[in-house]
Amino acid sequence: MLFDTEAYTSSKRPTIFLIEPEQVVRSALDYILRERYQTHPFATVDEAVRSLIKTPDVVLVGVAILHGRGEAVLGEVARAFARTKILLVAERKSDPLVQTGLKRGAHGYISNPISTDSVRGAVRIALGAPVFPNRPPVLIPPRSG
C-alpha cells in the first residue's frame, strides 16, 4: 500500500476541517488537534464549502451530518474537496451510516471512545504516516484508488 507522505512530512502544518453540528464534539476535536494541525471547525458542510481554504488535507465529518442530510452529503464533501481524505466521526462503529459512508467515499472512521491518541492517530494515518504492527489500529485501511 502506498501512502502520500508529502502532507505528513512537509514543514507546514496540515489543514484539518472539522464538520460536526454538535458544539461539544466539535470543540473537543478542535482541542485535540489544534496543537499539531491547522484546524477549522464548522457546524455544517455548507460553511466548510464556503470557506476561503479550498484544500484541506483531511476532513472529519460527524455522522450526525449524515443523519441530518442523508448519506449523499459525502458525495458533496468529496466533490468540494476532491483530493482530501475523509474520516467519519461516530459514536459507534456499528452505526449503519458508518458502513454506508465508507462505501460512499469516506476513507475511514473514528469511533468511541474518542481520545487524544485515537483522533491524532487516525489523522496521522490519513495523512500518510506509517502504520506500526504492534499498535492497535485507529483507522481502517484506506481505500485504494
Cell 483522533 belongs to residue: 119
Beta bridge partners of 62: 89
- Beta strands 15-19 and 58-62 are parallel
Q: Cis peptide before 142, with omega less than 30 degrees from 0?
A: no
CATH superfamily of the 7-126 domain? Response regulator (3.40.50.2300)
Going by the DSSP 8-state scheme, the letter that residue 43 receives in this structure is S
Q: How many Å apart are CA 50 and CA 27, to the nearest integer?
A: 20
Indicate yes or no: pTM above 0.95: no
Per-residue model confidence as pLDDT tens digits over 75-117 = 899 899 988 999 999 988 888 999 888 888 899 999 888 899 9
Map out the domains of the chain as residue ranges.
7-126
Cell of 14: 496540515
